Chain A
Amino acid sequence: MIFLSPILGLIFQETGRAANAVESLKHPDLSKFLVIAAILFIIGVAGVLTRRNLLVIFMSIELILNAANLNFIAFSRYLQDTGRGDPLAGQVFTIFVIVVAAAEAAIGLGIVIALYRNRETIWVDEIDLMKW
């Protein structure tokens, strides 16, 4: 029976870890918000890298910026709980990110319209004038 003990130990440890995981899913903390933001960021990067439609690429950039905002707000809440640093700096920074995103969307869509007027397309692989 002695040789079974490491296996049993492993099994019990695993079930303990699984119970811990369920418990942490029931009580999401900062790390869960960070995971959501990371996945959202990756989805946005995947959109930028794989899509051909210029407008959808712009929308993916908005997704990326949103993931960054979610990180800022989550860490701002964490700082409020620890009482360290300036707890509202994250929220103030998020406002600036939203402002820059709005400006970027306005300029980008202006460029899209000018491009469409000249080239009659918004598929990025057909816009290769500066590609050698």
Chain B
Amino acid sequence: MVLSGWESVFFWVFGIAALLAGLLTVMARNAVHSALFLISSLVSVAALFILLGAEFIAGVQILVYVGGVMVLFLFVIMLVNVGAEEEGRAAIFNRPAQVATALVFLGLLAGALVVYAIPRGYQAMQKRDESAMQQAGARRAAEQSNMPAGATGVSRLTDDTRRVGKSLYTYASLPFEIASILLLVAIVGSVMLARTLKQEAASDDVDPEDLA
């Protein structure tokens, strides 16, 4: 998989946008700004998914994360953190010593990964898979030449999405059902956690006045 031309331009644009927005998420003073930067980071990562040929996942990412989770986040920020802007002078980070230690070790980790581990591992992997890659490329070229004249990129897209759905319902069907139970538990659990004493009393048929 090697991108070229406009694809590589878009790769750098969205990759750097994702990193910058992620950095600003962590560093922004106001939690609302953090949430908005996180949204732009998520959208940039969705664009990278499209570059990698996973259009369905990109759509899911935007619908679920940006449309669902981040709206939830913004609601909770509005509920909880309204006074944050007034106390702008309050320290947003932990104690300097803790922050410095964390950053030094993370810097070491990042350096080792980016400079050493990933390039070396990728080189070794490429060497191992060279012949398999050539075979697969030849097979794909043969498939392309056998395609009907009307077939375009769109047919490949729908085909990929169809195969993802098929594997969700065949070999991944047990995790799929477990995920549905997990979501049900999450719904019930968050309602249980977030209700007030009054609401609890009302559901138990107790007069709220008796509790106070």
Binding site for B on A (CB under 8 A): 25-36, 38-40, 42-47, 49-53, 55-56, 58-60, 62-63, 66, 69-70, 73-74, 76-78, 80-84, 86, 88-89, 91-92, 94-96, 98-107, 109-114, 116-117, 122, 125
Contact = CB atoms under 8 A, between A and B. Distances in A.
B109 A81 contact: no
Contact of B31 (A30, A56, A89, A105): A56
A80 B53 contact: yes
Interface residues of B, number: 85
Cβ-closest 7 pairs across A and B: A83-B136, A110-B190, A110-B193, A103-B186, A47-B26, A31-B122, A49-B102
Contact of A88 (B76, B163, B182): B163
Contacts of B99: 49-50
A30 B44 CA distance: 17
Nearest to A83: B136
Given A30-B122, A40-B22, A98 B61 contact: yes
B69 A62 contact: yes
Given A28-B11, A55-B76, A56-B25, 6 more contacts: A33-B48, A63-B25, A70-B48, A81-B133, A110-B189, A113-B194
Contact of A63 (B8, B22, B103, B163): B22
